[in-house]
Amino acid sequence: MGKYALWLSLVASLSLLLGLFLILPGDLPKAERIANIQLQTPLRILSEDGKLIAEYGEKRRIPVLFEDVPDAQVQAFLAAEDSRFYNHPGVDFKGLARGVVQLLTTGRIRSGGSTITMQVAKNYFLSPERTIKRKLTEIFLAIQIEQELTKSEILELYFNKIYLGHRAYGIAAAAQVYYGKSISELTLAEQAMLAGLPKAPSKYNPLSDPERALIRRNWILDRMALLGYISAEEISLAKEQPITARYYGQRSELNAPYVADMAREEMLARYGEGTYTDGYEITVTVNSELQRAATSALRNGLEAYDKRHGFSGAESKTDPDKAVPEVQGALVSLDVHSGAIRALQGGYDFHHSKFNRATKARRQPGSTFKPFIYLAGLEKGLTAASRMNDAPVVFDNGTGGWRPQNSGGRYKGAIPLRQALYESRNMVSIRLLDHIGLSYAEEFLGRFGFDVSAQDRNLALALGSAALTPLQVVKGYGMLANGGYDLEPYLIEQVKQNGRLIYQRADTPRSEPVVDPRSVFILQSMLKDVIQKGTGRRARVLGRQDLAGKTGTTNDQHDAWFSGFNGNLATSVWVGFDEPKTLGKYEFGGRAALPVWIDYMGRALQNETEFDMPMPEGVVTSRISLETGLPTLDPSNSYFEFFRAEHAPRLDQLVNSKRVNDLEEMMLF
């Protein structure tokens, strides 16, 4: 039998030599190409603090460096697949000859056919067809690869390419799929289990056939002991371990599917379909803690609304025991200095509705739009102390007259712009827009990115009739927060491809402000009054003096808003139904949206010191009479108001009571 085996081995060797003549040199792929081969690696999206948000791609793969693979894991694969790996030139001729003997004597090869290097050659260059020519090509390629690469480099390629079942390519992905761990966290028993998979990923799979997988695992442990890799005690302890594998879906450390989908769409626009396979890893601007706060705050707010109205909502696709409210909402939060999106939630549940309301839902912003009209008025020369008439008026719109009203139907007569804004007086806002003119207002609003040219050109613009997304609204508020400088919201901070940085968002130099920072400072003080004594006073619960904002409610309570900021962070919240209908009686911005904003900002700013926009040069204060809106020296019934220096009242404007009525009449329009 020994002579027979020797003869067969000789035949095997002659067969190899014959193969040299069967394959033309030009038919062989160049082994040096392997260094440039692109693994099909899925798109990975990380938060700015390194939390995995999502992966997109058919193949689950987490590239790993050889030096990061534990020694025991390497030894487990060598024991299972190629124990003479470090001693052969890419082909184990003894094992190959043994395989030929088996083929000739039994009609099939049971062992000894393929080395790890040959598997690398096959996986990277060749098709899975089972022919003699392909096998010979595999052998010659393996020899070439050994000449081009070190053993460690070959193992790294192997560990990243090998298919291990359940869409897991490479050992790092398999560790996550079967154990929810990184490779450095695996036990010896788990390492041996992974090493048993390459031979037949479905046959020896611990999820599909745990009994057979257990037998394979223990055989590998025995082999490791036989080769001197582990001690008798280690093998005994490892064999006692039960199978702990179970299927772990996509490992996500941060639930932010709306953010992930936005990033995915932007990557597709930049890099095309290769986005899903070419090893891209992107870091977005979203902070994990702020994102969790945003998701929680919006859901809490929508559930509270749902509870107030006794709605059952729709069944959730992610949790059958939890109903999804029919009412929807969105929250967007920006860094007001850079435009980086720090948190974004586009609805209650992405899996129930993938429509991103934060970026795609164009809704009327209502009174949250008023600050921009007031700022335009300040730029036109009005002041926070300018008085306008809060009284009914009828405008001829060609269809019988437009009769706007204040919420609640109450009017106060002549009041300063400051009071009109924090009490959200519709009639004053309309008169203000009429005073500055629609043409000027449209040009001014364009500086904040609001294109209102497609809207009906009328004074309803003062009440927020333009259709805007929450992202557009928060951009405008971010510019109010940063002193009037242009701001471009962005999500992607950097892009790496296979570990190499290929894109890093550059800091853009700050241009000139689009509006006088002094006017912005004065408007900020007016918006702070919204919180301290106006429609947003519920936010006083946060106990901060650096908060400013504005409520918003549209006709029949179809949309509820609150947008606000401090010196670093601007946040807009919208609540409404996808198919517009009333939110119900008393569901104004201060009730439906403001609690969401408070919940989020309370957590977002809990460790942040108060930060205000510094007062620009050229802003002065003057004591103003609450009764007349005129300068006074009387400390009673008066307050200090901010003015641009050139618009500050002069001492010679001080008047006696006999002239007050005449002057007040002049200021009504």
CA-to-CA dists, residue 384 to 253, 652, 659, angstroms: 48, 20, 22
Nearest to 364 by CA among 556, 527, 599: 556
Residues 6+ apart with CB under 8 A from 653: 630, 631
Active-site residue identified among 114, 333, 338, 367: 367
Please report which residue ranges of 589-639 form alpha helices under DSSP H. Answer: 589-592, 594-604
Dist CA 663 CA 669 (whole Å): 12
Active-site residue identified among 48, 55, 81, 281: 81
Nearest to 545 by CA among 533, 562, 530, 528: 528
> Quick count: other Cβ atoms within 10 Å of Cβ 606?
10
* Amino acid, single-letter form, for residue 607: N
Would you state the structure tokens that stand for residue 309, as one six-digit string?
């109205």
Dist CA 185 CA 92 (whole Å): 32
Measured over the CA atoms of residue 297, residue 300, residue 306 and residue 311, the dihedral's sign is positive
CA-to-CA dists, residue 457 to 446, 664, 669, angstroms: 14, 31, 21
* Coil, strand or helix at 179: helix
Dist CA 350 CA 138 (whole Å): 47
* Coil, strand or helix at 417: helix
Would you state the structure tokens that stand for residue 609, as one six-digit string?
């010191």
Measured over the CA atoms of residue 574, residue 578, residue 579 and residue 584, the dihedral's sign is negative
388: phi > 0 → left, psi -120 to 50 → alpha, else beta; which? Answer: beta
The CA-CA-CA angle for residues 343, 347, 351, to 5°, reads 110
Measured over the CA atoms of residue 485, residue 364, residue 332 and residue 370, the dihedral's sign is positive
Q: 417 and 373 in contact (C-beta within 8 Å)? A: no
Nearest to 118 by CA among 166, 201, 95, 192: 95
Nearest to 205 by CA among 174, 242, 183: 174
State yes or no: is 81 an active-site residue.
yes
- By the 10 Å C-beta count (0-12 exposed, 13-18 middle, 19+ buried), 416 is classed as buried
Residues 6+ apart with CB under 8 A from 440: 376, 380
Dist CA 390 CA 429 (whole Å): 9
Q: 557 and 581 in contact (C-beta within 8 Å)? A: no
Virtual CA dihedral for 111, 116, 119, 124, nearest 10 degrees?
180
Would you state the structure tokens that stand for residue 302, as one six-digit string?
């929508």
The CA-CA-CA angle for residues 387, 388, 390, to 5°, reads 130
Dist CA 488 CA 479 (whole Å): 10
Dist CA 580 CA 555 (whole Å): 11
Dist CA 312 CA 633 (whole Å): 60
Nearest to 624 by CA among 640, 609, 608, 644: 640
570 beta partners: 334, 565
* Amino acid, single-letter form, for residue 201: P
Dist CA 430 CA 434 (whole Å): 6
Which of the residues are catalytic?
81, 367
